[in-house]
Chains A and B, each alone.
Chain A
Amino acid sequence: MSTHEILATIQDSALGNWMRYTNGAMPVVEATHVVAAVLLFGTVLIVDIRLLGLADSQRAYTRVSRETLRLTWLAFAVSVITGSLMFTTSPLTYFYNWAFEWKALALLGAGVNMAAFQLLTASGVSAWNEHSRAPRAARLAGVASLLLWAAVVLLGRWIGFTKGYDFTIPAGLDLGPTG
Chain B
Amino acid sequence: MRAFAEWLSTSAPSVAIQSRFWFIRVLQATHLITAGVAVASGLMISLRVLNFQRADQPFDAAWARFAPWLTASLAVMLLTGLAQTLGDPVREFTATSYWVKVVLVLCCIAGTLWFARAARRAPATTSFSVTAKLVAAALILFWLLLPLLGRMIAYDKAIWGPLSLRT
Contact = CB atoms under 8 A, between A and B. Distances in A.
Interface of A: 23-24, 26-28, 30-32, 34-35, 37-43, 45-46, 55-56, 67, 71, 150, 153-154, 157-158, 161
B159 A39 contact: no
Contact of A27 (B69, B150, B159): B159
Given A27-B155, A27-B158, A41 B33 contact: yes
Nearest to B56: A63
Nearest to A150: B33
B65 interface: yes
Interface string B40-51: 110110000000
B105 interface: no
Contacts of B16: none
6 contacts: A30-B155, A34-B148, A43-B40, A56-B65, A71-B43, A154-B32
A153 B36 contact: yes
Contacts of A43: 40
Contacts of B151: 27, 30-31, 34
Contacts of A56: 65
B36 A38 contact: yes
Majority-rule SS of B interface residues: helix
Nearest to A54: B69
B35 interface: yes
Nearest to A43: B40
A38 B158 contact: no
B54 interface: yes
Contacts of B25: 158, 161
A45 B40 contact: yes
A42 B37 contact: yes
A42 B36 contact: yes
B160 to A, nearest CB: 10
B40 A46 contact: yes
A35 to B, nearest CB: 5
Given A150-B33, A154-B33, A39 B144 contact: yes
A45 B36 contact: yes
B76 to A, nearest CB: 14
B148 A32 contact: yes
Contacts of A37: 32, 36
A106 to B, nearest CB: 14
